[in-house]
């Protein structure tokens, strides 16, 4: 970017060396003296009353130092939203899925802990279970939570215009059902937690998480322990993808066991445990209906979604609201109705996962390709005709301040040689295009605020305190870039203290995609605050006004006379000497956070600023389909995406490459399955659950489409998960181009392809 | 104190529970995975050239992981003052005392490390050594540092008025020589350091120290490592007393060995090592001459001090300047000359120790008692006639803003029933009185600044960042008191992050007695800054001006209408939600720090504000002396002292109790001795070096004499070491009262008493 020294530059990440040479401390690297190992006893039944738990034999096993059950807890339920608390991290009177936690053991080693689990006798009274969300909504279905009618966990509903009238006014109307598998986040590092209780009343914990500020609040409530007694430490961890957001039984049990034993307790889940009991990405069933005019103008959309939510509310109504955000953001469809239900079932529950909600995009974008075909309009063109643009106000009354959807289509089309290829490749080869969207920031109460502090060392280096979390995307480096830019010191001169709520002021962490938008802006403001203090001290020494000074290359310069300068370190020391310690503070809460928006999720209609900013993008994929075997190979991917203004283009591109590979996995391979009788997940290992390997990765050519976002730091906004949202549909549309069939389910396995070929599957036109 | 909720109250310390139940992490409690144990090879010669060091056999010993010698260092010398760098923490080409470090080994256990030391072959070329400072100043004496003439390490000189004329004008003149033993700080926990190097270039260290900020600067220089790569962690440690100020070979060698082995390295000195190689309190020889008028008015004083400084400069000129501060502060003596020399010898070097400089007080206060006797004036009365008072300007041009010396004399006299006892007790029983003084804050450059940061949690609890060090005196609690007072939250709601220069802004630590004065004031300002932010957010919610609000009991109140309030936590959350994160910052540099003062120690005359504040006090002791055995028993102690305004009277009293016991040890028992031939310290264990036990402790009745100190936080100033300064002399004067002899040396062992009795020793009157 012009005018900046570091911002907008392709800078290597500050943590690369530590990760490359193995110095970075990942969660599993942390051990403490006298540490015990914990294991959790889990329900073998999908739905049962706990009649009695006898832990006496387990306690008597040599090497066992502590056993806890629900009776040892304060009996409080947990919820991601404080509005709905329905999850017991250690169940008290009943279990709701196979894997629900009923007891936990701490022992001198894992084998002893594991053996102790076999010595715990639990008397269950088995209850009827339900696994399908539609069955769960039937009258007379087993009630998973006593107070909840028809097992409906949450409902999101929006209706703008008049959809029925819209369909009447449409020339063509299409309708079809789309289904999706449940998938796991598949982080390379399993879940875990380490707790170390000091009998003075202080609990230190290490939890790999997207936001320790929020974890601390939850654990403080569950453990009945004041915030100041809970120190949550940052550590590196092997992957997040939205999955380390909810509190886990590991965290709660490690804490309880450490308090009980007064020794550190480490619980690390096995891969199978991580797959079985951690939250999944919800498996939607989507009934979509869209109407269009002959000229390619979209007139109406009616989307009905049902999501298998599993045993607990987890992210609750937010999960069934997100698809709407992506849907309303992309195209101007005057009549739009959306209803999504989240339904309890006796399975592990579902939460947020990277690009949650892209399922609806898969349906919509394929329907658009079918419309384009029927109307004889180029798929890119039909999207351009309906695309939203910056300044538009959405149905929800959200204003989109930057949204270069059309530009991303145009750049993707040009870069991919779309016009030369689309419909012109050999049979079995195809190219597909789909638009996606993303959002930055939604309502999180005070937790949406980011505050940052910068403290200077006497040599001009500095420590930055921020609650930002780096899940691997480079957020730490980004914050160092901001400080470096504003204060004219090298990134390597900045020590980062991140995500340790005892030390760091609030920040949304990795929640709500706010790092580049809000946290970076808070850091920028803290740096500007420090800069103002610095130039005030320097000005009399250089005999100019403070405003005449700038900070560069570890010096304070007179802008107009660059030969006049003082080392920054001298000014810092002078400031301290004079009693003006340089401490910068910055605070930022994004627009959507402070406005009413849909802040009250219990309202029937969610009007207001849904997200602080919206991201637009287009993904083009080329595929090869083997019509004999049904195998699909993605040859190349071209994400042309908006990220506002990139703070580090290299990091942005890396995110979009990851986004494509991740979405490709869900599209083609990933699927969880349950034993219908026992309710047990049968795909809990990498033997049964397939993810893409490096060999399945296409060549990816990211294109950054800059769009100044007035609300974000330096014009930046989210640049990560949104890049995944068009991938499913782009691959499906490429398959359509390659072999003329449309796919209505994910993953698109060879069997699905062969079945679709047999059925000559296309989306149904009903008018 | 009136008007305050917490300040001035007798509050229990926040760390008491942790220390009582063993939770507090002392230095020796810290272990790290893969930690090695280090030992240091030390010179057996007092003065020798290092011809060659062969470490090959040591390196070959199984279990040895690293060996370092001076050749592995950057070759830089260390100094407490950056103006004089003469100490090699690992010697390169010569050794200067028995115990000087020549090599260090890290091994898997201490025994292996110890064995490896025996396998290191060092070729020495023995040089002539000198142990006595007067001999060392002779022409032709061995030169300990090549560039230093006559081994004079430092000289302090002040002359006001005309001393020779003054003696002429005096009616009586007295002159005598006083000698003192060298003593150790005798902390219960030995010295040590733990270093853990991460190959990304970061070194974590745990060092028990009075100021990690200053240690970090020194180690950064010695290791050629930027400040931001050096993290020094706080830990509890068993005693300080000024001894953990200088950098130790342990720190330097642990760092070098950790860098070399890429594993944590822990070096803990043995008791003998701690005694032998750590800095001592200097053994002065004092020639004192004083003149007085018949009416009891002091006219002239001439003090000549020579201090055995040992092998290195350490605290250098500061050590020979401190006695002057105490001397000029107490009494108005119009003609005053002071010369003190610090002399290098081939012994371990001397540094600051609690109440360093009280040796001159011992001499002066006994001379005063002799004058009082000769003039027939009560010893209390003679002091009252000459005492300085607040507002006086000293010879150095230092202004003393608070100095209730007379009040302390009066209160001590009343409380001790002085008039009924002095000269009236049975033979062998005596009561003695002496005045002392203390100072708060001297010039330390930017390091004299204290800056503090307060960050709020969403529940209204807060984290305080300050560089304060708690050596056991309760400084941590004091800072919590200040925050509690200003922000209306309980002390237990404040998490303290102290003395970790990566996290904490600068502060003098325990240096220069500035905790209550400067650091507490910085914390107060940070709290006031936070309060201003809080009331600004709260004001519109309570529909009043910010100035109408006050913070109490975790609430924000309208002062005039106490029924109108909002919980503090709600305001904090609102502030974050509104983008106004509550972060308070305060910074303070005491007067003497920012004024020129004697900042340039190379100047010949040290005029200016020597100390930011002065403390006055009177100590009365009662003793019983057995004239047969020479044994002295201190029966009671009554320190009536000034501490400005006490922030926590209980802590102040505790300090004065400790001060009395510590000074009692030096007065009666403590003495280091060397083998005159080998230069080896022969008193390096508790078998040979005697300290007082609980049975030797008298009953102590501290009396706090309040004196508002305008410069300090809430009127506070130093309240610790000053309380020791009168003890030696009070005991000596009590002995004088008991058996009519005056003692001119310390410790006052039975042999000294018996000798003095034989000689009927009194201070000599020469006119």
DSSP reduced 3-state for A680: coil
Instruction: Quickly state the pLDDT bin for A606 (edges 50, 70, 90).
Output: low
Please indicate whether, in this complex, the C-beta atoms of A583 and B505 are within 8 angstroms of each other: yes
Side-chain half-sphere CA neighbours of B196 within 13 A: 14
Widest CA span in chain A = 83
Q: Compute the mean pLDDT over every residue in chain B, rounded to the nearest whole number.
A: 95
- A177 and A287 in contact (C-beta within 8 Å)? yes
Q: Which residues in chain B touch residue A449, judged by CB atoms under 8 angstroms apart?
A: 576-577, 579, 581
| pLDDT tens string A317-375 | 889 989 999 999 999 999 999 999 999 999 999 998 888 899 999 999 999 999 999 99
Fold of B280-443+597-765: Aldehyde Oxidoreductase; domain 4 (3.30.365)
pLDDT of A597 over the 80 cut: no
Q: Which of residues 511-570 of A touch B (CB under 8 A)?
A: 522
**CA atoms of B221 and B201, how far apart (whole Å):** 15
Q: In this model, does residue B716 exceed pLDDT 90? A: yes
Between the alpha carbon of residue B201 and those of residues A15, A456, B39, the distances in Å are 12, 20, 24
Beta strands in A441-560 (DSSP E): 450-456, 462-466, 494-498, 549-552, 555-558
The pLDDT value given to residue B600 = 46
Q: Name residue, tokens 């139940």.
A: B21
pLDDT at A600: 46
CA geometry: angle at B474 spanning B468 and B479, to 5°? 50
Contacts of A32 (CB under 8 A, 6+ apart): A194, A196, A264, A266
Contact B576 A587 (CB under 8 A): yes
Q: Compute the distance between CA of residue A41 and CA of residue A583 in angstroms, rounded to an integer.
A: 49
Q: What is the pLDDT of residue A594?
A: 46
Percent of chain B scoring above 90 in pLDDT = 89
**Identity of the residue in B445, B461, B573 whose CB atom sits nearest the CB atom of A227:** B461
> In the structure encoding, which two tokens stand for residue A710, read together?
């007035």
pLDDT given for residue B598 in this prediction: 46
Q: Is 1.20.210.10 the CATH classification of the domain at A31-127+191-240+244-277?
A: no
Q: Are A154 and A316 in contact (CB under 8 A)?
A: yes
Q: Give me B650's structure tokens.
A: 């209980």
Q: Average the pLDDT over A472-487 and give the result.
A: 96
A35-49, A273-287, B312-326, B580-594: which range is least confident on average? B580-594
* Cα–Cα nearest to A671, from A697, A659, A693, A689: A689
Query: Which residues make beta-bridge pairs with B625?
Result: B632
| A33 near B CB under 8 A | yes
CB A524 within 8 A of CB A468: no
Cβ-based neighbours of A92, under 8 Å, separated by 6 or more: A50, A70, A71, A73, A75
Say which residue the tokens 């599957």 belong to. Answer: A761
Contact B403, B392 (CB under 8 A): yes
| Residue B519 DSSP symbol | I
- CA nearest A232: which of A201, A268, A206? A206
* Residue B198 contacts residue A20 (beta carbons within 8 Å): no
pLDDT tens profile B238-254: 999 989 989 999 999 99
Distance CA A575, CA B451 (A): 11
User: Given this model, what pLDDT does residue A361 score?
Assistant: 98
Supply the DSSP symbol for A519.
I
Q: Which contiguous run of DSSP H or E holds residue B159?
A: strand B152-160
Is omega for the bond preceding A569 within 30 degrees of 0, making it cis? no
B493-516 per-position pLDDT tens digit: 999 999 999 999 999 888 878 899
Is there a contact between A219 and A251 (Cβ–Cβ < 8 Å)? yes
Q: For residue A460, give the DSSP letter.
A: S
Q: Which DSSP string corresponds to B696-735?
A: GPPEE--EEE----TTSGGGB---SGGGGTTHHHHHHHHH
Of A225, A253, A244, residue with least CA distance to A315: A244
Cβ count within 10 A of residue A60: 10
Q: Is the pLDDT of residue B682 over 80?
A: yes
Instruction: Compute the nearest-CA separation of A304 from chain B (Å).
Output: 34
Contacts with B, A 276-315, CB within 8 Å: none
Q: Is B198 on the interface with A (CB under 8 A)?
A: yes
Tell me the pTM: 0.96
DSSP bridge pairs for B64: B107
Pair A225, A257: CB distance under 8 Å = no
Give the distance from residue B531's alpha carbon to the nearest chain A alpha carbon, in angstroms: 15
Contact B497/A503, CB-based, under 8 Å? Answer: yes
Of A505, A572, A579, the CB nearest to B455: A505
pLDDT at residue A444 greater than cutoff 80: no
Give the CA distances from residue B132 to residues B42, B151, B308, B472, B603, in Å, rounded to whole numbers and listed in that order.
Answer: 22, 11, 7, 35, 27
Mean local confidence (pLDDT), A183-189 = 94
Q: How far is A486 from chain B (nearest CA, A)?
A: 19
Question: What is the spatial distance between Cα A420 and Cα B110, in angstroms, rounded to a whole number?
Answer: 75
Does A451 contact B at CB distance below 8 Å?
Answer: yes
| pLDDT confidence band for B235 (50 / 70 / 90) | very high
Query: If pLDDT is split at 50, 70 and 90, which confidence band does B221 have?
Result: very high
Evaluate if residue B599 carries a pLDDT over 70: no
- 8 A C-beta contact, residue B285 and residue B306: yes
For the purposes of burial, counting CB atoms within 10 Å of the CB of A246, is it exposed (0-12), middle (13-18) or buried (19 or more)? buried
A-chain residues within 8 Å CB-CB of B450?
581
Mutate which of B13, B23, B35, B200 to disrupt the A interface (most A C-beta within 10 Å)? Answer: B200
Secondary element (H or E) of residue B578: none
- Residue A140, chain B, CB below 8 Å: the answer is no
> A729 and A366 in contact (C-beta within 8 Å)?
yes
Average pLDDT over residues B186-206: 97
Tell how far CA A756 is from the center of its chain.
Answer: 32
Q: Give tens-digit pLDDT for B94-113.
A: 999 999 999 999 999 999 99
The verdict on a CB contact (< 8 Å) between A587 and B579 is yes
Q: State how far the Cα of B74 lies from the Cα of B55, in Å rounded to an integer.
A: 19
Q: B14: which chain A residues are within 8 Å (Cβ-Cβ)?
A: none
> How many other C-beta atoms lie within 10 A of the C-beta of residue A277?
24
Please check whether residue B451 touches A, CB under 8 A.
Answer: yes
Best of B581, B594, B596, B599 to mutate (most A CBs within 10 Å, chain A): B581
Q: How confident is the model at residue A607 (pLDDT cuts 50, 70, 90)?
A: confident
Alpha-carbon distance of A111 to A89, in angstroms, equals 23
Taking 60 as the threshold, does the pLDDT of residue B601 lie above it? no
All residues of chain A having their beta carbon less than 8 Å from the beta carbon of residue B578 are 589, 594
Could you tell me where in chain A the CATH 3.30.365.10 domains are found? 16-24+450-588, 353-442+608-765
- Interface check for B17 against chain A (CB to CB < 8 A): the answer is yes
Give me the percent of chain B exceeding a pLDDT of 70.
Answer: 97
The answer to whether A578 contacts B585, with C-beta atoms less than 8 Å apart, is no
| CA angle, B480 then B482 then B486, to 5° | 120
pLDDT of residue B538: 98
User: How does DSSP assign B575-629, residue by residue?
Assistant: HHHTT---EEEEEE--HHHHS-TT--TTSSS--S---SEEEEEEEEEEEEE-TTT
- Chain A contact for B228 (CB, 8 A cutoff): yes
When pLDDT is cut at 50, 70 and 90, the band that residue B82 belongs to is confident
pLDDT digits (tens, 9 = 90+) for B1-38: 568 999 999 999 999 999 999 999 999 999 999 999 99
Whole-angstrom distance, CA of residue A208 vs CA of residue B245:
39
Tell me the β-bridge partners of A621: A432, A637
For tokens 């905790």, the residue is: B515
Compute the average pLDDT of residues B525-531: 98
pLDDT for residue A603 is more than 80: no
Q: Name the band, by pLDDT with cuts 50, 70 and 90, for residue A447.
A: confident
- φ, ψ of residue B671 to 5 degrees: the values are -165, 125
pLDDT recorded at residue A1: 52
| Residues in chain B, total | 767
Chain A residue numbers with beta carbons less than 8 Å from the beta carbon of B451 are 455, 576, 581, 583
pLDDT reading at B161 higher than 50:
yes
The minimal CB distance from B506 to the residues A200, A458, A493 is found for A458
Furthest CA-CA distance within chain B: 83
Q: Tell if the CB–CB gap between B458 and A446 is shorter than 8 Å.
A: yes
pLDDT class for A459, splitting at 50, 70, 90? very high
| pLDDT tier at A257, thresholds 50, 70, 90 | very high
Statement: residue B415 has pLDDT above 50: yes
Chain A residues 467-496 with a CB less than 8 Å from chain B: 492-495
The secondary structure element, H or E, covering residue B418 is helix B418-421
Residue B365 has pLDDT above 90, yes or no: yes
Domain spanning B31-127+187-240+244-277: CATH 3.90.1170.50: yes
pLDDT at B765: 98
CB B253 within 8 A of CB B89: yes
Which one has a higher pLDDT value, A633 or A599? A633
∠ at Cα B107 (B104, B109), nearest 5°? 120
A33 contacts on B by Cβ (under 8 Å): 31
Which pLDDT score is estimated for B258?
Answer: 98
DSSP 3-state of A751? helix
Numbered ranges of CATH 3.30.365.10 in chain B: 16-24+450-588, 280-443+597-765
Q: Summarize the confidence of residues B69-93 as an average pLDDT.
A: 94
Min distance A739 CA to chain B CA atoms (Å): 53
Q: Which tokens hold the place of A17? A: 């060396």
**Predicted pLDDT of residue A598:** 46
* Domain B16-24+450-588 grouped into CATH 3.40.50.300: no
Q: Provide the shortest C-alpha distance from residue A615 to chain B (in Å).
A: 23
User: Strand pairing of B561-567 and B335-344?
Assistant: unpaired
Selected residue of B35, B202, B583 to mutate for chain A interface (largest A Cβ count, 10 A): B583
Across the interface, do A581 and B503 touch by the CB < 8 Å criterion?
A: no
- Report the Cα–Cα distance between both ends of chain B, in Å, rounded: 50
In this complex, which of B31, B449, B459 lies closest to A577 when CB atoms are compared? Answer: B449
Interface test with chain B among A457, A464, A522, A536, by most B beta carbons within 10 Å: A457
**Among candidates B217, B451, B573 on the partner chain, residue whose Cβ is nearest the Cβ of A576:** B451
What is the CATH T-level fold of the domain A353-442+608-765, as seen in this structure? Answer: Aldehyde Oxidoreductase; domain 4 (3.30.365)
Contact A579 B585 (CB under 8 A): no
Return the number of CB contacts < 8 Å for A and B: 168
Cα separation, A634 vs A631, in Å, equals 10
Token pair of B434 as six digits? 């002496």
Evaluate whether A291 touches A166 at the Cβ level (below 8 Å): yes
- Partners of A450 on chain B (C-beta within 8 Å) are 581
What 3-state class would DSSP assign to B671?
coil
């Amino acid at each position: 970017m012009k005018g900046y020294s570091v911002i907008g530059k392709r800078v290597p990440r500050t943590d690369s060396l530590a990760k490359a040479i193995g110095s970075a401390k990942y969660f599993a690297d942390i051990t403490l003296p006298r540490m015990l190992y914990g294991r959790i006893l889990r329900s073998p039944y999908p739905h049962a009353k706990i009649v009695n738990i006898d832990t006496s034999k387990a306690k008597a096993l040599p090497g066992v130092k502590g056993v806890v059950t629900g009776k040892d807890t304060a009996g409080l339920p947990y919820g991601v939203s404080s509005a709905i608390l329905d999850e017991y991290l250690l169940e008290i009177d009943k279990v709701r899925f196979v894997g629900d936690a009923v007891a936990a053991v701490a022992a001198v080693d894992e084998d002893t802990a594991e053996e102790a689990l076999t010595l715990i006798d639990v008397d269950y009274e088995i209850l009827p279970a339900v696994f399908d969300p539609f069955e769960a909504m039937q009258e007379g279905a087993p009630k998973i939570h006593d107070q909840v009618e028809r097992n409906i966990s949450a409902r999101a509903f929006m209706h703008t215009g008049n959809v029925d009238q819209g369909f009447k006014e449409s020339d063509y109307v299409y309708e079809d059902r789309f289904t999706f598998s449940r998938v796991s986040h598949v982080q390379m590092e399993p879940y875990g937690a380490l707790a170390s209780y000091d009998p003075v009343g202080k609990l230190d914990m290490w939890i790999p998480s997207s936001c320790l500020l929020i974890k601390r609040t939850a654990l403080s409530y569950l453990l009945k322990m004041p915030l100041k007694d809970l120190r949550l430490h940052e550590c590196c961890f092997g992957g997040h993808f939205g999955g380390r957001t909810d509190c886990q039984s590991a965290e709660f049990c490690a804490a309880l066991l450490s308090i009980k034993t007064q020794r550190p307790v480490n619980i690390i889940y096995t891969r199978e445990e991580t797959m079985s009991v951690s939250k999944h990405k919800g498996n939607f069933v989507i009934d979509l209906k869209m109407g269009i005019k002959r000229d390619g103008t979209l007139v109406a959309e009616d989307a009905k979604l049902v999501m298998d939510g599993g045993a607990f509310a987890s992210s609750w109504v937010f999960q069934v609201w997100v698809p709407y955000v992506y849907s309303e953001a992309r195209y101007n469809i005057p009549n739009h109705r959306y209803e999504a239900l989240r339904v309890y079932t006796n399975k592990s529950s579902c939460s947020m996962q990277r690009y949650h909600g892209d399922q609806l995009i898969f349906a919509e974008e394929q329907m658009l390709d079918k419309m384009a075909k029927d109307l004889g309009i180029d798929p890119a063109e039909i999207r351009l005709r309906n695309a939203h643009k910056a300044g538009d106000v959405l149905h929800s009354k959200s204003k989109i301040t930057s949204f270069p959807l059309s530009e991303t289509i145009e750049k993707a089309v040009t870069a991919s040689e779309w016009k030369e290829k689309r419909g012109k490749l050999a049979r079995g080869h195809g190219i597909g295009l789909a638009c996606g969207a993303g959002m930055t920031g939604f309502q999180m109460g005070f937790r949406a605020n980011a505050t940052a502090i910068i403290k200077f060392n006497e040599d001009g280096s500095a420590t930055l305190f921020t609650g930002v979390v780096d899940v691997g995307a480079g957020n730490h480096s980004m914050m160092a870039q901001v400080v470096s830019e504003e204060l004219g010191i090298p990134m390597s001169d900045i020590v980062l203290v991140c995500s340790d709520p005892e030390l760091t002021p609030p920040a949304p962490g990795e929640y709500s995609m706010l790092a580049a938008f809000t946290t970076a802006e808070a850091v920028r403001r803290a740096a500007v605050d420090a800069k103002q203090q610095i130039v005030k001290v320097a000005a009399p020494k250089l005999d100019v006004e403070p405003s005449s000074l700038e900070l560069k290359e570890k010096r304070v310069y007179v802008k107009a006379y660059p030969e006049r300068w003082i080392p920054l370190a001298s000014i810092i020391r002078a400031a301290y000497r004079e009693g003006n310690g340089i401490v910068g503070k910055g605070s930022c809460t994004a627009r959507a956070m402070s406005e009413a928006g849909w802040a009250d999720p219990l309202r029937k209609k969610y009007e207001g600023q849904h997200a602080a900013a919206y991201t637009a993008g287009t993904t083009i994929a080329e595929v090869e389909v083997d019509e004999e075997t049904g195998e699909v190979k993605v040859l190349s991917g071209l994400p042309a995406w908006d990220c506002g203004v990139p703070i580090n283009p290299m990091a942005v591109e890396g995110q979009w490459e990851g986004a494509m590979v991740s979405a490709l996995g869900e599209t083609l391979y990933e699927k969880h399955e349950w034993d219908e009788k026992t309710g047990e997940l049968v795909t809990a290992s990498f033997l049964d659950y397939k993810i893409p390997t490096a060999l399945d990765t296409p060549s990816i050519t990211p294109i950054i489409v800059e769009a100044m976002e007035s609300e974000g730091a330096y014009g930046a906004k989210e640049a990560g998960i949104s890049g995944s949202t068009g991938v499913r549909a782009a691959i499906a549309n490429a398959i359509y181009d390659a072999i003329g069939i449309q796919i209505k389910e994910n993953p698109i396995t060879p069997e699905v392809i062969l079945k679709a070929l047999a059925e000559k599957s296309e989306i149904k036109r009903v008018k």
